[in-house]
Amino acid sequence: MEWYLKVLRSYAHFEGRARRREYWYFTLINVVIAIALGLIDGALDVSLLSPLYTLAVFIPALAVSVRRLHDTGRSGWWLLLTLVPLVGAIVVLVFMCLDSEPGANQYGPSPKGAVAPTSPAAA
């Protein structure tokens, strides 16, 4: 949950790099929340919670995706490849799964040297 909150705290921060762990934990929790809200919307026979949540996390999801591409040494503009049906999404998925570029690159120092966020309860 800490990785999810870390992404939300850096709401529109497109500079820098994001580790695979940060990106995939955010994506996992985001999908779980979206499914839960979709079920609640379906049970209440309304379509309100899911669209509001999607709007709320659109910018953070875009920002963490750009930072993840930066971590692999690619520009955030590669996300536009998802507009190419099927093939574009597969290529971007592969990019998101690749390991970080070792050391610093043009987008900043490697985040692998950074310490994972900790909760106050763990301290």
pLDDT tens across 43-69, in order? 998 889 999 999 999 999 999 999 999
- Classified as helix, coil or strand, 1 is coil
Residue with tokens 């709401």: 11
User: Range of 22's domain?
Assistant: 2-109
In a domain, residue 121? The reply is no
* pLDDT at residue 27 tops 60: yes
Query: Do the domain assignments include residue 40?
Result: yes
Write down the pTM of the prediction: 0.83
Instruction: Find the helix packing angle between 2-9 and 49-71, rounded to 10°.
Output: 90
Higher-pLDDT residue of 53, 111: 53
Judged against a pLDDT cut of 50, whether residue 92 lies above it is answered with: yes
pLDDT, residue 123, reads: 46
Question: Is residue 114 situated within a structural domain?
Answer: no
> What average pLDDT does this structure show over 13-36?
93
> How many structural domains is the chain composed of?
1
Of 52, 63, 49, the closest CA to residue 8 belongs to 63
Residue among 62, 79, 69, 77 nearest 10 (CA) = 62
In a domain, 72, yes or no: yes
In this predicted structure, what is the pLDDT of residue 119?
55
Q: What is the pLDDT of residue 56?
A: 94
Residue 65 in domain: yes
Mean pLDDT score, 90-100: 94
Question: Is position 89 within any domain?
Answer: yes
Residue 95 in domain: yes
- What's the confidence (pLDDT) of residue 72? 92
Owner of token pair 């996390």: 57
Decide if 122 is inside a domain: no
